[in-house]
Amino acid sequence: MESTVQTSPASEISHSGLEWVNTLMRMDTTSRNSNLGLIETVRDYCYANGLVTTLTYDPSGKKANLFATVPSAAGETNGGVVLSGHTDVVPVDGQQWNSDPFSPLVKDGKLFGRGSCDMKGFIGIALGLVPQMRQASLTNPLHFALSYDEEIGCAGAPVMLADLKKRGVRLDGCIVGEPSSMRVVVAHKGINAYRCCVKGHAAHSSLTPRGVNAIEYAARLICHIQDLAERFKVKGPFDNAFDVPFTTAQTGTIRGGIAVNTVPANCEFEFEFRNLPGINVSGIYDEIREFAERQLVPRMRLTREEADITFETISTAPALDVAEQAAINGLVRALRRDTDTRKVAYATEAGLFQSAGIPSIVCGPGNIEQAHKANEFVELHQLAACESFLRKLIVSLSGNSL
């Protein structure tokens, strides 16, 4: 019988699950670093347990996704459910931690450390159940999809999904284990991030009419984005099932200028908008670009012909909106006994899987409010609930098809 580690009077977590969580958390997979150490460790473990594994790499070869399959009892590798999680974590730079962020610490019924909540807790618990998955007489296969660079724009998952399509791999449903307090999330917003570069012309501040002030024109565009956000807030469209029931937009960073007595030649800022499902993303982006091209650039070029405003896409991740009749929705709701319609403002890779034709849902341990913060933690009873849920999933895939 599998040994267990007591986590609280009300919950238990398997030793293998907790060990895997700890192992993953000890690996510093901050997005700026390689994740190959983690991926190769998991790959070797999967291989040793008879799983079929495939790695797909980023252009540098320093990061990789892993897709691994537990075949059905009949040896089938197509269909079934995929458990999805990202392996990268956000930086700890500038944060005041009470313990080493990469040395897991259990205290007061909580597991502290970077990635505990977002989202190595889910991945580790799932990996700890691989032996049980192998021993079960699965009528449908189970898969793992572990990605790189989710935290900097969901860059890894599209590479993996393109490979699955190329290889003809078919999946019936996807469970993304982002922190949702083990509640079923059926929809989330999309996120779209862009960089805008304003090229003006430098001049001494005593001769301002001879210059084109890049910061001032950037400010005009930023105010236009703010006005756009206000329009969505006031006029909608709205979906009151979301915690923030309308599309939002904001400017997050800005850089420009060299001295107070110099008309700035350059200004760069980054902005984002988070759209409700069904909103025309390209329409919002086009409206912002058209304001720059029609209202601002002609005025700038009255002074200097070379003045310009350019845009660059940083990252996009589509919204998620799971159909109530989707099989994965019914399965996860039944296993969690959760019938509430829950929609959230944060984005996940679930939207990418859905866009690839794989019905997807979000359900994972931990509270999103603890993610990305100093002293990040996941409550141990959440990990126990996750493990219980995944055990039930294994049983359901051993007798009930999607």
- Of 369, 360, 282, nearest to 328 by C-alpha is 360
Q: How many structural domains are present in the chain?
A: 2
Whether residue 402 has pLDDT greater than 90: no
Residue 329 in any domain: the answer is yes
Active site residue 150: yes
Residue 235 in any domain: the answer is yes
- For 174, the domain range is 4-187+319-396
pLDDT in tens, 207-228: 999 999 999 999 999 999 999 9
Whether residue 103 has pLDDT greater than 70: yes
CATH number of residue 282's parent domain: 3.30.70.360
Q: Is the pTM of this model over 0.85?
A: yes
Residue 225 in any domain: the answer is yes
Last residue of a domain, one of 295, 317, 339: 317
Q: Residue 122: CB partners within 8 Å, gap ≥ 6?
A: 83, 85, 177, 178, 179, 364, 365, 366, 386
Check whether residue 298 and residue 238 sit in a common domain: yes
pLDDT in tens, 323-346: 877 899 999 999 999 999 899 988
pLDDT in tens, 148-170: 999 998 999 999 999 999 999 99
Residue 402 in any domain: the answer is no
Among candidate residues 88, 151, 239, 387, the one labeled active-site is 88
E strand or H helix that includes residue 122:
helix 121-128
Q: Judge whether 236 and 244 are in contact, CB under 8 Å.
A: no
Check whether residue 144 and residue 273 sit in a common domain: no
Check whether residue 346 and residue 294 sit in a common domain: no
What 3-state DSSP class applies to 104? coil
Mean pLDDT, rounded, of the chain: 94
Check whether residue 183 and residue 195 sit in a common domain: no
- Of 76, 59, 16, 64, nearest to 40 by C-alpha is 64
Q: Residue 90: CB partners within 8 Å, gap ≥ 6?
A: 30, 31, 114, 118, 151, 371, 372
Among candidate residues 150, 178, 321, 376, the one labeled active-site is 150
Residue 280 in any domain: the answer is yes
Check whether residue 19 and residue 165 sit in a common domain: yes
Q: Judge whether 220 and 291 are in contact, CB under 8 Å.
A: no
Question: 190 — phi, psi (to 5°)?
Answer: -85, 160
Check whether residue 258 and residue 377 sit in a common domain: no
Last residue of a domain, one of 280, 298, 317: 317
> Residue 325's pLDDT is what?
72
Residue 401 in any domain: the answer is no
> Residue 7's pLDDT is what?
39
> Residue 323's pLDDT is what?
81
Check whether residue 80 and residue 45 sit in a common domain: yes
Check whether residue 36 and residue 155 sit in a common domain: yes
Active site residue 88: yes
Check whether residue 113 and residue 208 sit in a common domain: no
Last residue of a domain, one of 291, 317, 343: 317
pLDDT in tens, 339-367: 998 999 889 999 999 999 999 999 999 99
pLDDT in tens, 278-316: 999 999 999 999 999 999 999 999 999 999 999 999 989
Check whether residue 134 and residue 198 sit in a common domain: no
